[in-house]
Every structure is written in C-alpha cells, then in structure tokens.
Amino acid sequence: MTPSPLSLATARPAHKPHAEGDEQHFCTTCAFAGVCLPGGYEKSALAELQCLIEHTDPIQPGRHIFRVNDPFHAVYAVRAGTVKTYVVDDEGREQVLGFFLPGELIGLDAIHPAHYPCNALALDTVTLCRFSFPAIASLAARMPNLQAQLFRLMSKDIAASSLLAGDFSADERLAAFLISLSDRLANRGYSATRVHLVMSRADIANYLRLATETVSRVLRRFQDENLIEVERREVAIRDLPRLKHLARCVLRT
Amino acid sequence: MDPSPSLAAPAFDAELIARHDLNGPRYTSYPTAPHFDVLFGEAEYRAAAAASNEEPIPRPLSLYVHLPFCPSPCFYCGCNRVITRNRTEIGAYLVRLEREIALQAALFDRDRQVLQLHMGGGTPNYLDLEQMAALMDALRSGFTFGPESLREFSIEIDPRLTGAGTMAGLARLGFNRASFGVQDFDPAVQEAINRIQGIEETLGVIADARAAGFRSVSVDLIYGLPLQSLEGFARTLEIVIAGRPDRIAVYGYAHLPEVFKAQRQIDPADMPPASTRLALLGLAIDTLRRAGYQYLGMDHFALPQDELAQAQSAGDLQRNFQGYSTHAECDLVGLGVSAIGKVGDCYAANARDLTGYYAAIDAGHLAVMRGHRLTEDDTLRGSIIQALMCSGDLDMQAFSERHGFDFGQRYAAELNRLEPLVSDGLVRIEAGHLRVTPRGRLLVRLVAMAFDAYLARPGEKAPRYSRVI
C-alpha cells in the first residue's frame, strides 16, 4: 500500500529541468515521459494524452491535495515540490507512508477502493499534473505503451511498500533513505550527492519506524564518519559507495 | 589560509584612532537589535522554534538568562537593570522567569542538549544560592543539559556580593566559568562610578573560583571612566594580571547620559579627555600583550591556552550576543526581561521592562515583543561581518564561489566605502582577500559598518550606538 520506495525529498537541481510541457513535449520530470520515447507515438495520440492533463495551481506548504476517504477521480504526478502521504490510526497517531518527488505519482493506491486511502500533504510549494482516472484508463486500453507504463508504476509501488518491513538496523534504514533519495533525484537529472530534506526529522523517523532522536544520532555519526555532511536541511553525500553498501540489504540492490 | 595579519597584535595609533573614532554598533548580531521589528512576535518565534526541531540534526541549545537586579547603581552601567534592596522583588521575578522557562522549554525537543548557559545582568549573584539552585532546577527540568565535559556554563559575578561559600556553591550548581566585574581599582574612580570594591576581596573571590574548580575565569575592566588616570589604570592592570585570569575584557566606557539615566550621576567635568581615553586603551593593549595575552578582537584578550584563543588560532572563533564564543552552531534561547535569542534564522527580543515582561508571562504568553527573520541578504552580510570581527580576514574569492556571484560586483558600493580605510591602512584588499591590518584591528567596527545595509548613511538619522573606541 505504500508508495514508491523510500520516497523522498527534493533537491537543488544540478541543472534546471524543463518546468513545463507543451503539446509536443512532456515535462521532463513527468511520470509518463517514458511512454512516448520508445514507440515514437503519433503526435495525435500524444496530444490526446496531453488533453487529459490538468496542471494545478501551486499548492502552498501545509495544504492537503486530498484527504483520506475523498472520492477517487484522478491520479497526480508531482511536477515540483514534495508531497507526504500519511494516515492517522485509531489511536490518533500519524503514520507516514511516503514522500513523493517530482516525476512520481500519487493516488495509485486509490484505484480499487475508489476513494483515497490516505492523506496527501504539500511539504513545500507543490505543483501537480492531474490525470482524470477514467480517461487515462480508457486511453491506456488503446495505447499499449501507456498501459505498460501504468503497470510498471503500480508494480514499483507495491514492491516498494514492503522494503522497510524487514528487520533492519537504524543505520541501514537511514542509509537506504538517503540512497533512495539520491537515486531518484539522479534519475530526474538532479545532483546525486546533494539532498535537501524538506520533510521534518520527525517525519523521517516516523517513516523509517525509528525514534526521532535516533535519526539525528545516526546522521551525526554518519557525519563523523565522513559519509555525509549536514548543514541545516542540506545533506551532502561524501561517500556514495559506502553509503550504498550500507543501504544494499534494505534496497535489495 | 594565512592567519598572520589577523592574529598579529593590534597596532595602537592614537592619531589614527582619534581621526576615526565615531559611534558604531558592536555587532553581537546582524542586523543589530535597534532594527528588530514589532511585527515579529510570539507566533513567529514559535514557528521558528518548531522549524528548528525539524532539521535532520537540530542544533544544540545555548541559554541566556537575564537577571536584572542590582542592590545599588554603578553610574557607568548601560545594561538593562533594576536597582532594588527589596529581595521579594527578586522572588516575584523568579516566579515569572520559571514560568517562561517552562513555556520556552516546551518549544524545543528534549534530545537537544544545552551546551552553553550564560547568566547575565544586572547582578546574577544578587540571587542567593537557594534561589539560584531553584532556577537551575527549573532549567534542568525543562531542558536537557549536555554532558559535563562539553558544558560551558557561565555567570557574571559582582565580587562585592559574594560570601565564603558562594563560588563553591555555584560550582556545585554546574557553573564552570565566571566573569568578574572589576572596572578599576583606583579609589577615586570607584567613588565617581559608585562602585567601591576592594582589591583583597576581589582577588579572594577569584581564588575561590579557581579552588572551586571553575575552568575559566574572566575579568572585566573599563577604560574611559571618570577620573581615570594612567597611573591608576596601570596599577589595576598589574593587579589583575598577577591573578592570571584566562580572559580579560577591556571595555570602552560609552558615555550616553541622554540614553542611560544612571550616567547622569557622573560629573561631566570628571570625564577624561579623548587623549587620555586613547592613552588608557594603548596602555591596556601594551600591558596585556607584554603579559602574554592574545588579542581576540573588539575588547577581548585571552591567554594563549584559553579555548577562545585556541579557537581563534584555528579559525573557529564565533561572535554572538555573549561576545566571542566557540559554539556558533547553537540555537540561542533568551530568557528573562530584555533577553535576546536567535533560533534558526530568527532573532527574538523579550519585553524590555518588567511591566511588559510580567504582563506577557502572567497572561500565559511568551514575552517576545520584537524580532527579525533574516533575509538571504542579511545572512550574507552577517557572515561577512562575522569573518571580519572574528578573524579579520574575509576570503572574497571563496565567498564568491560559495554563493555563486562576484563579490566585487555585488558589494561594489561597500568596497567603495572602504576606500578611505584602505588609504589609512586599516584594511588591505589583496589576492582576493579583505584583510584587517594590525592598525585596523581596533577599528574593525568601522570595516564591518561598511557592509551594514541598515546603517543610516550621512544625512540620515541613525540609531545611537556607543563609540567605536
């Protein structure tokens, strides 16, 4: 049920990715950008897909995109900013499910229940592409590449949800968190070694199922061991290979 | 990096200093407190504190506690203080202070350790040991104190108000640093400033502090006081140096009777002429250097083995509201009337008088009345001023690279403003560095002022600051 793997944070772009798509081009960060690359879709099909997309107005930090039990009509792709998904359990405790970066989809877990099973909150200023679900589903029936991409995204989502379930140490969890962030950012053309943690340490701790102070203690030790350097909310990864080695069991790489 | 120009002793040039002596801020913050804004209040402070907890590795904490009461007025004093002989007034204040401690402590996650504590005044040791113990209990129950070896817990001491067990008692409560107000031992000066303080009692208290295990002992002197003479001040320096305090501060007396009421008690006829004032400073610098003290900057000297001197040699010296420090990475929580804190990117100042402070606390609120959220420009200028004040060396090349702009272009007007100081040999611009020369060290505030975007320039109305020297 969890979203993408150790979903993450945002980063300072190493170079500036194209912010806006147009009729012929997707945003470079788009979750569906891959759809048209291999097949070389006809412009008309691409235009049809583009028609489904609504770019939302910027959502201010601390505002919700949807709340638990809202009826499901659409999935969202993050264009800019970071989204946190969470539920509140019967005891009133918040449980963080994941963090979504540019290029990642939220709302895939709502297809079956037909209502959103979690809350989605903008951690910073967030812009989204909204895909009407009935429309994209019917288009997918006609566009095999689109269908394949949808399946890929859903499968990734399911696989990621079980990653943190193992009996991993705090060191392994945090290393995996940072490496996951780094990988995802690198895939979008951002620096792999500079991560801006927009989520609070309490959110990180909650997501990784660690105590809040453990997060800071482990990060401080990573810093002492020259794995990373932390300045306020900026994390610079100083030793990517060693950190990857620590993360390998969680990420199954 | 070549530390030599900044670590050289300051050169004393009376003519140069006389020519440049004017009023300027001391830059314990940038922007300085007069520029804090009433639009920054409790809500903004709470948000800043919450955000500071959210960082992946939140900063440790530094606490400043203001204890404003004194039994009698020293006429030179420009501090926020309350003169009272009525000890129940202190009790009434401590009740509010403990409430504020509880409110403030609740804002900070408990795993954030307190590494620094400073009690300033007023006269902190006007509190008796029982009151001080209760205050420390309140702090300890709200905040988490760091391990003993890392703690710098300091207190300002008026030696006249100490008894036989005072220093040992304070050491038991956790204090390991003390600064002792001396000013001048010359009896004529002491009478003119309404502070009669014996040599024996002062040296005795300093010895008590050492015996009680205080790790660092500091003595405060003042030059430019009424009736002060070179002979008298030379004798004071000699007595103080014989006690080998780790640090000695030599503050310039700022005579601003229109701002500080107590100073109106000083007969203007007793004020030393500018030439004497400068000669007193020259004497202090020369005497302390010959006695082996290292100049830290501004008004501060330390023995070479002192940790501030070591930090300066290593390039780690910092400047905050308590003056020079080795801990910059702390969030500073200001407690008590008129206290100023810095949390994250925000400065926050408490109510300046007891009435306002009590009203806020009694209504269940924090006492934050003014503050300032740093802009990006503030942060940049603040770090320039910090580098100038602490190491006397600004690497403009590295600064440009770090921030992705051309220093010379961005700060062209500022560098222009420095031209006269360059001609006078106070600063040098060479090899991408801006270096304060030994001649310029005593006037470093002038160099810093060139980068202060809040200062009114000639023709505009400026806030009132003490003289540079």
CATH of the domain at A180: 1.10.10.10
Q: Which of B54, B55, B111 sits opposite A213 (nearest CB)?
A: B111
Nearest CA in chain A to B52: A232
Q: Verify that A67 and A111 share a domain, yes or no.
A: yes
B330 to chain A: closest CA residue: A232
Amino acid letter for position B388 = L
Distance from the Cα of A216 to chain B's closest Cα (Å) equals: 5
Q: Least CB-CB distance to B111: which of A197, A216, A230? A: A216
Question: For position A233, what pLDDT does the model report?
Answer: 93
Chain A: give the shortest CA distance to residue B396, in Å: 21
Which of residues A161, A177, A206 is at a domain's end?
A161
Residues A154 and A187 in one domain: no
Q: Distance (Å) from the C-alpha of residue B403 to the closest C-alpha of chain A?
A: 14
Question: Which residues of chain B neighbour A99 with C-beta distances below 8 Å?
Answer: none
Interface residue A115 vs chain B (CB under 8 A) = no
How far, in Å, CA of B232 to CA of B234, rounded? 5
Chain A residues with beta carbon closer than 8 angstroms to that of B55? 201, 232-233
Nearest CA in chain A to B59: A232
Indicate the residue of B54, B57, B111 with minimum beta-carbon distance to A200. Answer: B54
In chain A, the residue whose alpha carbon lies closest to the alpha carbon of B331 is A232
* Same domain (yes/no): A127, A177: no
Which pair of structure tokens corresponds to residue A70? 């809202």
Looking at residue A17, its pLDDT comes to: 40
Q: How far apart are CA B56 and CA A210, in angstroms?
A: 13
Q: Which residues of chain B have pLDDT under 70?
A: 1-9, 21-23, 321-322, 327-328, 458-469
Q: Vertex A30, ends A29 and A35: CA angle to 5°? A: 125
Distance from the Cα of A249 to chain B's closest Cα (Å) equals 23
Q: Give A164's contacts (C-beta < 8 A, 6+ positions apart).
A: A2, A6, A173, A207, A208, A209, A250
Q: Of A101, A97, A93, A121, whose CA–CA distance to A109 is shortest? A: A97
Is residue A154 domain-shared with residue A206, that is, in the same domain? no
Q: Which residues of A touch B111 (CB under 8 A)?
A: 212-213, 216
| A245 and A169 assigned to the same domain | yes
- A66 and A180 housed in the same domain: no
Yes or no, beta carbons of A213 and B109 under 8 Å apart: yes
Interface predicted TM-score (ipTM) over 0.90: no
- Find all residues with CB under 8 Å of B367, minimum gap 6, and list them: B100, B337, B350, B351, B356, B357, B360, B361
Measured between CB atoms, does B460 come within 8 Å of chain A?
no
B55 in contact with A at a CB cutoff of 8 Å? yes
Same domain, A168 and A191: yes
If asked whether residues A188 and A209 sit together in one domain, one would say: yes
Optimal mutation site among B55, B57, B376, interface A, most CBs of chain A within 10 A = B57
Q: What share of chain A is helix, strand, coil (3-state, %, to 5)?
A: 40, 20, 40
Range(s) of chain B covered by CATH 1.10.10.920: 1-30+376-462
Whether residue A6 lies inside any domain: the answer is no
Interface of B with A in 92-111 (CB under 8 A): 109, 111
Query: Is omega for the bond preceding B458 within 30 degrees of 0, making it cis?
Result: no
Is B57 at the interface with chain A, CB within 8 A?
Answer: yes
Residue A157: per-residue pLDDT: 74
- Give the closest-approach CA distance of A204 to chain B in angstroms: 9
Give the distance from residue B307's alpha carbon to the nearest chain A alpha carbon, in angstroms.
Answer: 22
Give the end of a domain, one of A106, A131, A161.
Answer: A161
The DSSP-derived string for B380-447 is HHHHHHHHHHHTSEEEHHHHHHHHTS-HHHHTHHHHHHTHHHHHTTSEEEETTEEEE-TTTGGGHHHH
Nearest to B77, CA basis, from B161, B158, B132, B186? B158
Contact across the interface for A201 and B111, Cβ inside 8 Å = no
Say yes or no: A154 and A228 in one domain: no
Q: Which residues of B touch A200 (CB under 8 A)?
A: 53-54
Q: Within a domain: residue A44?
A: yes
Contacts A201 to B, Cβ<8 Å: 53-58
Looking at residue A10, its pLDDT comes to 39
Residues A88, A118: contact at Cβ < 8 Å? no
Of A200, A202, A230, the CB nearest to B57: A230
Contacts A230 to B, Cβ<8 Å: 56-57
CATH number of the structural domain spanning residue A157: 2.60.120.10
- The gap between the terminal CA atoms of chain A, to the nearest Å, is 21
Residues 6+ apart with CB under 8 A from B1: B315, B393, B395
Site from B52, B54, B115, B379 to mutate, A interface, most A CB atoms within 10 angstroms: B54
Q: Which residues of A touch B56 (CB under 8 A)?
A: 197, 201, 204, 215-216, 219, 230, 233, 235
Contacts of residue B109 in chain A, CB cutoff 8 Å? Answer: 212-213
- Interface A–B counts its CB contacts (< 8 A) at 31
Rounded (to 5) percent helix, strand, coil in chain B: 40, 20, 40
Into which CATH architecture does domain B33-333 fall?
Answer: Alpha-Beta Horseshoe (3.80)
Domain count, chain A: 2
Which pTM does this prediction carry?
A: 0.86
**How confident is the model at residue B307, as a pLDDT?**
87
**What's the token pair of residue A98?**
């994941």
User: Does the beta-carbon distance from A232 to B55 stay under 8 Å?
Assistant: yes
B54 close contact with A: CB closer than 8 A: yes
Element (H, E) at B301: strand B300-302
Enumerate the H helices of B220-321 as residue ranges: 230-242, 274-290, 307-314
Same-domain status, A68 and A168? no
Domain extent, residue A110, equals: 33-161
Ramachandran angles phi, psi of B188, nearest 5°: -65, -45
| pLDDT at residue A11, rounded to an integer | 39
- Check whether residue A85 and residue A178 sit in a common domain: no
The Cα of B374 is separated from the nearest Cα of chain A by a number of Å equal to 15
**Structural class in CATH, domain B1-30+376-462:** mainly alpha
Give domain status of residue A175, yes or no.
Answer: yes
- Same-domain status, A84 and A157: yes
Choose from B53, B55, B113 for mutation: most chain A CBs within 10 A: B55
Residue A170 CB neighbours (<10 A)? 17
* Candidates A197, A216, A223; nearest CB to B58: A216
Last residue of a domain, one of A161, A184, A210: A161
Give ranges for CATH 3.80.30.20 in chain B. Answer: 33-333
Residue B16 has what pLDDT?
75
Confidence (pLDDT) at A13: 41
Nearest to A217 by CA among B56, B106, B148: B56
Structural domain contains residue A179: yes
Q: Does B56 contact A223 at a Cβ distance shorter than 8 Å?
A: no
A235 to B58: CB separation less than 8 angstroms, yes or no: no
For chain A, 253 residues long, give each residue's pLDDT as a single digit of tens.
333 333 334 333 433 344 455 555 566 666 666 554 444 555 566 667 776 778 889 999 999 999 999 999 899 989 889 999 999 999 999 999 999 998 888 998 888 888 999 999 999 999 998 888 888 888 888 888 888 888 888 887 777 766 777 889 999 999 999 999 999 889 888 899 999 999 999 999 999 999 999 999 999 999 999 999 999 999 999 999 999 999 998 888 7
Find residues 108-137 of chain B whose CB sits inside 8 Å of chain A. Answer: 109, 111
User: Which residues are within 8 A (CB) of A103 and not within 5 positions of it... i.e. 6 or more apart?
Assistant: A29, A30, A31, A33, A77, A78, A184, A187, A188
Tell me if B57 and A197 make a contact (CB, 8 A cut-off).
Answer: no
Cβ(B169)–Cβ(B124) below 8 Å: no
